[in-house]
Every structure is written in C-alpha cells, then in structure tokens.
C-alpha cells in the first residue's frame, strides 16, 4: 500500500490479534526522476570548428615568435598546425605599439601644441586587419588551388610574420625619415622571407604567373604598412 510519496505495508494477524503498518525502504529515485537520465549533450555553435586553432599554450606561442626572428631556419614554422591566437595578438599588439610610438614621435616633432587624432588608430588597425585576412584569402582561394595548405594555417603564419615590425615601430620614434624607411623596409623583407621559406616547396609547383602573383600578394600587406607608417602615422 502506498501513502503519498512513501511506501508502506499493512498487515494483520487474526490469531495473535495484531495489526499495523510497516514502512518499506523508500525509492531513492522517487521524486528525482532525472537521477538516472544521461546528461544532455552540450549545444554546438558555429565557433566549434575553430576552437582547435585557439587551443595553444604560452610556450608554443613564444617558440613561434622566436622563429620569426630568424627566417632562415630550415625547420617548418608549424610543428602540426597553426593557431589563430598568436595570429591575432601579434598584429593587434603591433597596432597598439605603432599608435603609441607614432603619437609620441609626432609630439616630439611638434613645435606647437600636439593634439591626439584617433583616426591614426582606426586607419592603422583597418589596414593591418584587412591584409591579415585578405592576403591569405587571395593565396588560398585564387593562387594555391590544388595545394594542400589550409586557409587558417596561412592566416596564422601571416599574422605571426608581423612580429618583425615591432622593433621597426619602436625605432621609428626617432624623428629621422631615412631610419624609418630602413626599419620598415627591413621588417618587410624579414617577414617576406619567413612566409616564402615556409611555402617555397608548394609554390614551386604553381604556374609561372602564380609564383609572381604569390610574391606580390605576400608583400602587399607589408608594403601598405610601410607606406602608412612613413607618409601618415609618423609624420
């Protein structure tokens, strides 16, 4: 016999003249129907396929930053696959350095009162972020057709290559035009060598015109950044 949420057993003994009710062991799952149910599967989002490109530890990021300092290393830049974490923060930090260094250089060179112009940050950031994604898109979807190179691997390598511009941005605080051109020009060549070394074998299989187009596309972002720095940001 069941009373409410608890189970009871009613008994009577006519010979002994005894009767009563015995409480049975309650059902442990009673009142908690979800105890034995499996946990619901986590919902998937459109970002799930890209999580693997952001799962990287600090040591790996530092190792890849060190590789950008010497592009003549014969080893491949990536041990297995690229990461979007470093590819985002390297150019983002560069934007911050260039904005601060450019503002400081202009303040030093200004004989009158200096007024900070936020358009400097917007133009610099727009240019860098545009080429960070546009150049790999051109390489992957137009030039590297038929080559087993992932788009996000190209984005990762191209983003890391902007690490060479950090010293150039800091050196350019010195108000000397020739030094600024040399600093950014050297950074462009250094970054270009890094990219070329990692994709040299794959590019050799392309048509002749695609080889030249790959070189032009790869250097376009560096050239645009050099022009902005010399004709706009540090002037």
What is the pLDDT at residue 52? 61
The pLDDT tens digits for 31-52 are: 555 545 555 555 555 455 556 6
Annotated domain spans of the chain: 48-233
User: Binning pLDDT at 50, 70 and 90, where does residue 107 land?
Assistant: confident
Rounded to whole angstroms, the maximal C-alpha distance in the chain is 118
Residue 84 has pLDDT above 70, yes or no: yes
Say whether pTM exceeds 0.85. no
Average pLDDT over residues 132-158: 88
Whether 204 has a pLDDT exceeding 60, the answer reads yes
Average pLDDT over the chain, rounded to an integer: 79
Identify the weakest region by mean pLDDT among 43-52, 53-62, 65-74, 210-219.
43-52
Task: Give the Cα separation of 205 and 142 in Å (integer).
Answer: 15
The token pair at 135 is: 């150049």
């Amino acid at each position: 016999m069941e009373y409410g949420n608890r189970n009871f057993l009613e008994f009577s003994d006519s010979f002994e003249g005894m009767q009563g009710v015995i409480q049975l062991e309650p059902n442990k799952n009673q009142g908690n129907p979800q105890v034995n149910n499996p946990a619901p599967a986590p919902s998937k989002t459109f970002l799930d396929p890209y999580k693997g490109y952001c799962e990287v530890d600090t040591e790996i990021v530092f190792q890849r930053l060190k590789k950008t300092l010497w592009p003549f290393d014969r080893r491949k830049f990536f041990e297995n696959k690229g990461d979007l974490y470093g590819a985002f923060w390297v150019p983002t930090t560069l934007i911050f350095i260039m904005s601060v260094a450019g503002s400081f250089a202009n303040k030093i060179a200004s004989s009158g009162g200096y007024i900070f112009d936020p358009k400097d940050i917007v133009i610099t950031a727009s240019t860098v972020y545009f080429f960070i994604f546009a150049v790999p898109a051109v390489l992957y979807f137009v030039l590297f057709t038929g080559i087993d190179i992932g788009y996000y691997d190209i984005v990762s390598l191209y983003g890391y290559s902007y690490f060479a511009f950090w010293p150039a941005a800091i050196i350019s605080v010195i108000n000397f035009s020739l030094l600024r051109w040399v600093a950014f020009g050297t950074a462009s060549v250094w970054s270009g060598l890094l990219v070329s070394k990692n994709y040299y074998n794959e590019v050799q299989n392309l048509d002749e015109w695609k080889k030249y187009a790959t070189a032009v596309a790869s250097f376009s972002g560096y050239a645009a950044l050099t022009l902005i720095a010399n004709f706009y940001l540090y002037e």
